[in-house]
Structure 1
Amino acid sequence: MSSRDLVLMTAPLREDFTIPCHELGPAAGNPAVSFVSGLHGDEINGIYILARLADFLTAVEGGGYPKLRLAQRVLIIPAVNVLGTNTLRRAWPFDQSDQNRMFPGNQMGETTQRIAYTVLEATKKSAYRVDLHSSNLYFEELPQVRLYDPTPEERETAHLFGLSAIMERSVSPVFTTTLMYSWKYWPGQSFLLQIGQAGSIQLPHCQQVFRGLVSFLGRIGVLEGVEVAEADQEALYFTRECSVRIYADRAGMFVSDKSLGGWVSKGQELGYIYDSFNGNVRTRVTAPVAGLLTGIRRQPMLFEGDLLMRICTRTP
């Protein structure tokens, strides 16, 4: 195993900085799996999960788990936007650019373009590529595998992560400068894991995804000796047409006691929008369809038109 600096950069207003990465397993050849997180500096869940995964696989290599053996090479980049993480900012701190809108990058370009180029070069030839994200500061997502215009092989492999939901989406022009889009040009399989809410760690989500990544490595033969438990339930597969969004019909304070991953019935009360200053109920939020609650707004203060919840139905 080796921990090294993927990128060494100079910064105009502080000391030089590095983007660390971990290379584990046999050194020969391209990585069988590449894991990336922290393209947005405030998406802490993915950074935490991959840092813990690197520590776990390091212990495997060091003999800490005698029954386990790392049979193929794994590359882990826990935090790409390391300055954003250090300063608790989503975007690149100096020019507020989005690091995940800089791909495929440019070796001779601006700092974020050079970082994007280096990350893509390090990961693009992997057989499996996994990008971990969270939602924004306002919205929490059920841990899920997201597929963008997937191949049949990617649809099948997505079940190996052991998460309860798989969501298929089309690639829109908005995504053409992302890491996921750039990966699609190369042979191999690409996956995006969406986990919880930005700005903090939701430990139950992280624990679930960590276990899922270890199981995934076992199921594809990269980590030998893993005892893979059967999932409590088969992962539910949702197409774009299965996703129903609930928007606020007025401004106010949104309060809900619902938890992600629960099934709701059509017409069920899901929460309330209160007047922010006198406490009156302005709107009772009800489910327009029956389905699985996969997303919920956690920032109570809202404007008219803000996204409140996402429900995924079994059929479009």
Structure 2
Amino acid sequence: MRKQVLYSIRSPYRQPMEVTGFKFGSGEKAICIVGAMRGNEIQQMYVCSQLVKRLKELEREGSICSGKEILIVPCVNYYSMNIGKRFWTMDNTDINRMFPGYDLGETTQRIADGLFKEVQGYTYGVQMASFYQQGDFLPHVKLMETGFTDHKDMIDFGLPYAFVRTPRPYDTTTLNYNWQVWETKAFSVYTNATDHIDEASAKIAVDAVIRFMVKRGIIRTKVTGGSVTEIVDERGLIQIHSPCAGICKSFVRPGDEIRKGDLLCEIIDPLEGEVISRIFAPENGIVFFTYNRPLEFEKSVLYKIISI
């Protein structure tokens, strides 16, 4: 293993911020895995740390395939992480909305530029991403549809679900999208935690990435077969919104199979305690996402359902 500072930026008040990477093997740039780019992505950093630990063991055993280089970047934005802030400490900008970056631009543009120069040129790229909505969901892998990466490649992660996302304008400045523009086959892996560590889903993510590397001939080790992957177009998810604000009492969790007409939740008046609304399943499906805060607002997304 080679520990290397990939990018450093000076600070007038603190020590320089150094983005550190861990390289394994040598030769062609086989795969790069990037973790936390936001200050609350504790789980994403943890998953990468466990991959570093696992790969150190595999390297000692001689299990990195000859002529293959692996790069892991566990954390990009530890300045924000140190003070518990999601976005950049000074101007509240998001590094993952600044790619491919600009070396003469704002601070986050410079960080994105410095990082992107180091992670370019790899055959595969994996980002440990955080879900943009507050809630619980099934671990999954996602592909930004650019026409460059084959959907079937996601099957090798062995996760139950793989989603294809049609890019929106704001997606064009993300790491995943720009990786593909510069001809890296890029994927985002999601676990069901962000600002805390969930051991079970972290292990699922680590196993999924190890499994992918084995099947792509980057490392040699024994792995389980994983799950049979169902590829789903993200636009096909059924979204269920709250008709009113109140306290949400949910009766289902991610992974539950539901039938049309099943009671999903009750919304309770927070002051009087009466049930003011009941939400029922519009059709048969698998619960993919559930809102996980007791107090919800009108028009909030309460559930996302995979139709079956």
Give 1:255 deviation, angstroms: 2.5
Indicate the residue corresponding to 1:264 in structure 2: 258
Note the 1:48-87 alignment, pairs <5 A. Answer: 48-63=46-61, 68-71=63-66, 72-87=68-83
Unaligned runs of 5+ in 1: none
* Paired position in structure 2 for 1:22: 22
Contact preservation (8 Å) 2:251, 2:263: no
Map of 2:208 onto structure 1: 212
CA distance, structure 2, for counterparts of residue 195 and residue 50 of structure 1: 12
Partner residue, 1:182:
178
Q: 2:225 is aligned with what amino acid? A: E
Q: Are 1:163 and 1:212, in contact at CA under 8 Å, matched by a contact in 2?
A: yes
Q: What is the Cα deviation at residue 261 of structure 1?
A: 1.9
| Code of the aligned partner of 1:227 | K
Output one character per residue of 1:287-307: Cα deviation in whole Å (capped at 9) or x when no partner: 112112111111221210111
Gaps of 5+ in 2: none
Between the aligned partners of 1:40 and 1:136, the Cα distance in structure 2 is: 12
Deviation at 1:137, TM superposition (A): 6.9
Name the structure 2 match of 1:274.
268
> For residue 146 of structure 1, what is the amino acid of its counterpart?
K
Contact 1:61 1:70 in 2 (8 A): no
1:138 shift after superposition: 2.2
**Alpha-carbon shift at residue 212 of structure 1 (Å):** 0.8
> Following TM superposition, by how much is the alpha carbon of 1:32 offset from its aligned partner in structure 2, in angstroms?
0.4
Please report the RMSD computed on the Cα atoms of aligned residues, expressed in angstroms: 1.8
Identity within the alignment, %? 27
Q: How does 1:1-316 map to 2 (within 5 A)?
A: 1-26=1-26, 28-29=27-28, 31-63=29-61, 68-71=63-66, 72-136=68-132, 138-151=134-147, 154-224=150-220, 226-231=221-226, 233-314=227-308
Deviation at 1:13, TM superposition (A): 3.4
- Change over 3 Å in CA distance of 1:234–1:55 after alignment to 2: same
Per-residue deviation at 1:52? Answer: 0.8
Distance in structure 1 (CA, Å) of the matches to 2:96 and 2:180: 15
Q: CA deviation at 1:114?
A: 1.2
- Give the counterpart letter for 2:282 in structure 1: P
C-alpha distance in 2 between matches for 1:219 and 1:135: 26
Q: Which digits, 9 at most, give the CA deviation of each residue in 1:166-224, with x for residues without a partner?
A: 11111110211111121121223111112213321222211111111111111111111
Contact 2:7-2:20 at 8 Å conserved across structures = yes
Q: TM-score, normalised by structure 1?
A: 0.91
With the length of structure 2 as denominator, give the TM-score of the two structures.
0.93
1:69 counterpart letter in structure 2: I
- Give per-residue Cα distances to partners, 1:36-57, cap 9 Å, x unaligned: 1212221222211111101111
Give the total of aligned pairs.
Answer: 307
Q: Quick one: distance in 1 between partners of 2:198 and 2:212?
A: 21
1:150 Cα deviation from its structure 2 partner: 4.9
Pick closer, same or farther for the CA change 1:79–1:121 going to 2, 3 Å: same
Take 1:25 and 1:211, find their aligned partners in 2: how far apart are those partners?
19
In structure 1, distance between residues paired with 2:254 and 2:199: 14
Query: Secondary structure at the residue paired with 1:181?
Result: helix
**1:234 and 1:285 mapped to 2: Cα distance?**
31
